[in-house]
Amino acid sequence: MLDLAIIGGGPAGLTAGLYATRGGLKDVVMFEMGLPGGQIMNSSEVENYPGIKEVVTGMELMEPWPEQCMRFGLKHEMIQVTRVEKDGDNFKVILAGGKEETAKNVLICTGSTPKRAGFEGEDEFFGKGVSTCATCDGFFYKDKEVAVLGGGDTALEEALYLANICSKVYLIHRREEFRASPNTVERLKNKENIELVLNSSIKKVYGDAMGVSGVLTVNKEGKERDLPVPGIFTFVGMNVNNEVLMQEDGSTLCELNEYGEVIVDLSMKTSVEGLFAAGDIRILAPKQVVCAASDGATAALQAIAREH
Ligand code: FAD
Ligand code: NAP
């Protein structure tokens, strides 16, 4: 029986693992289906984590975190969790392949994943010219023109990153105002090889078996514009990864809000005793690495308090 099962190994899960093991919980396993680090590993620039003196990549930021946690006894199982169920006073953690673990406490920190924008050709060309990761795919378009869709922090930061690799970036956004922070908007506007395509959406992405060959946009007046780019990066927000909470009878393990985010109190406690949620998955999450880490620490301290 585990003292604590942590589902997800992003900043929230890793920090929870550090605090839980260092705080005396003995059997703590972090179930992470990929490499530990979370979605920030896809970011090409991070400058707002406290203590960072220079801009670093997400990978550089997260690289030391797993080693620090493992030093205190955190175990990592690289596997997907299918579902978490109540099992008397404890929990059953069901893993891909059907194996099960039981745990006294469970912390859900499965984070969020990029949304699809919904234009024609998006699914057909996903991975063949349509991407949601500039650090992963940007280099394929070195010295070529690309398009970016979205007006939030992610879209603008990644457009700036791509502008350093690509000859030109078309930033397509459906409004005139940006959701991103003013500092980032300023940097974007000062970047010579970024052209703003505002009040516009994507009608379709087209191409052939080799991949994307262009993007057709349409503005608010209905005027179409053809951008003959081989790559389009979409950054239109995130969906919370709450699937592990879905029960076989269609109910959810704990209370969620209308966006599917887990309802927690200030201790990261959910509506179910012994079940915690931390990071991007919870209500009102600021969706920042530092906040996810803080949530993870808070939840771990609560789990320790329950066991001692
Ligand atoms: P995540 O980082 O999403 O980690 C969740 C983990 O859970 C993932 O590793 C996933 O593989 C795993 N997982 C999910 N489901 C399962 C399952 N069923 N079984 C096993 N494992 C599972 N924040 C900043 O503070 N500064 C920035 O500059 C910044 N830039 C960003 C740039 C980009 C491109 C993006 C996408 C985000 C950025 N953010 C930034 C936001 C930041 O990355 C998130 O707020 C933070 O990573 C949330 O951490 P988390 O631990 O809650 O979740
Ligand atoms: P976001 O803030 O939700 O922005 C999504 C953008 O996509 C918005 O501009 C939105 O337009 C647009 N959009 C949504 N659906 C669309 C569709 N179907 N078609 C076209 N455009 C669409 O998402 P995000 O940029 O990924 O950021 C997520 C969170 O992480 C935010 O809280 C953000 O602050 C944080 N983050 C922070 C940093 C940082 O601190 N440096 C970096 C990255 C992310 P509208 O504006 O018109 O709604």
**pLDDT bracket for residue 44 (50, 70, 90):** confident
C-alpha 70/C-alpha 106 separation (Å) is 19
Query: Which residue owns the Cα nearest ligand 2 atom 43?
Result: 154
Atom of ligand 1 at shortest range from CA of 39:
2
**pLDDT bracket for residue 118 (50, 70, 90):** very high
C-alpha 200/C-alpha 32 separation (Å) is 38
Q: Which residue has the tokens 């919870």?
A: 282
Atom of ligand 2 at shortest range from CA of 156:
25
Q: Which residue has the higher pLDDT, 119 or 308?
A: 119
* pLDDT computed for residue 178 by the predictor: 98
**pLDDT bracket for residue 175 (50, 70, 90):** very high
Do 61 and 289 form a contact (C-beta atoms < 8 A)?
Answer: yes
Do 115 and 239 form a contact (C-beta atoms < 8 A)?
Answer: yes
C-alpha 70/C-alpha 244 separation (Å) is 25
**pLDDT bracket for residue 182 (50, 70, 90):** very high
* pLDDT computed for residue 19 by the predictor: 98
| pLDDT higher than threshold 90 for residue 133 | no
Do 101 and 79 form a contact (C-beta atoms < 8 A)?
Answer: no
Q: Report CA(179)–ligand 2 centroid distance (Å).
A: 7
Q: Which residue has the higher pLDDT, 308 or 222?
A: 222
Could you tell me the two tokens for 280?
Answer: 């991007």
pTM: 0.83
Q: Which of 148, 187, 287 to mutate to test the pocket of ligand 2 (most atoms within 8 A of CB)?
A: 287
Q: Which residue has the higher pLDDT, 244 or 139?
A: 244
* pLDDT computed for residue 13 by the predictor: 98
Going from N- to C-terminal start, the domains of the chain cover: 2-114+238-307, 130-234
Sorted by sequence, the CB contacts under 8 Å of residue 306 that are 6+ apart come out as 104, 105, 274
Listing DSSP states for the chain in one string gives -EEEEEE--SHHHHHHHHHHHHTT-S-EEEE-SSSTT-GGGG-S-B--STT--S-B-HHHHHTTHHHHHHTTT-EEE---EEEEEEETTEEEEEETTS-EEEEEEEEE---EEEPP---BTTTTTBTTTEES-HHHHGGGGTTSEEEEE--SHHHHHHHHHHHTTSSEEEEE-SSSS-SS-HHHHHHHHT-TTEEEE-SEEEEEEEEETTEEEEEEEEETT--EEEE--SEEEE---EEE--GGGB-TTS-BSS-B-TTSPBP--TT-B-SSTTEEE-GGGBTT----HHHHHHHHHHHHHHHHHHH-
Measured over the CA atoms of residue 299, residue 56, residue 135 and residue 199, the dihedral's sign is positive
Of 123, 136, 226, 265, the catalytic one is 136
* Residue 136 known to be catalytic: yes
pLDDT digits (tens, 9 = 90+) for 45-72: 788 899 999 888 899 999 999 999 999 9
From the CB of 7, is ligand 1 less than 6 Å away? Answer: yes
Q: Which of 14, 43, 94, 262 to mutate to test the pocket of ligand 1 (most atoms within 8 A of CB)?
A: 43
Q: Does domain 2-114+238-307 have CATH number 3.50.50.60?
A: yes
Answer whether 2-114+238-307 and 130-234 agree in fold. yes
From the CB of 42, is ligand 1 less than 6 Å away? Answer: yes
Could you tell me the two tokens for 136?
Answer: 């992963």
* pLDDT, average across residues 275-285: 96
**33 DSSP β-pair partners:** none
* pLDDT computed for residue 43 by the predictor: 78
Do 114 and 132 form a contact (C-beta atoms < 8 A)?
Answer: yes
Could you tell me the two tokens for 94?
Answer: 């069901």
* pLDDT computed for residue 237 by the predictor: 92
Query: What is the Cα 134 distance to its own chain's centre?
Result: 14
pLDDT digits (tens, 9 = 90+) for 240-266: 999 999 999 999 999 999 989 999 999
Of residues 280, 244, 284, the one with CA closest to residue 111: 280
* Residue 137 known to be catalytic: yes
Atom of ligand 2 at shortest range from CA of 46:
41
Please name the CATH architecture into which domain 130-234 falls.
3-Layer(bba) Sandwich (3.50)
From the CB of 108, is ligand 2 less than 6 Å away? Answer: no
| pLDDT higher than threshold 90 for residue 167 | yes
Instruction: Give the per-residue SS3 of 194-253.
Output: EEEECCEEEEEEEEECCEEEEEEEEECCCCEEEECCCEEEECCCEEECCHHHECCCCCEC
Of 27, 89, 109, 133, the catalytic one is 133
* Residue 249 known to be catalytic: no
From the CB of 149, is ligand 2 less than 6 Å away? Answer: yes
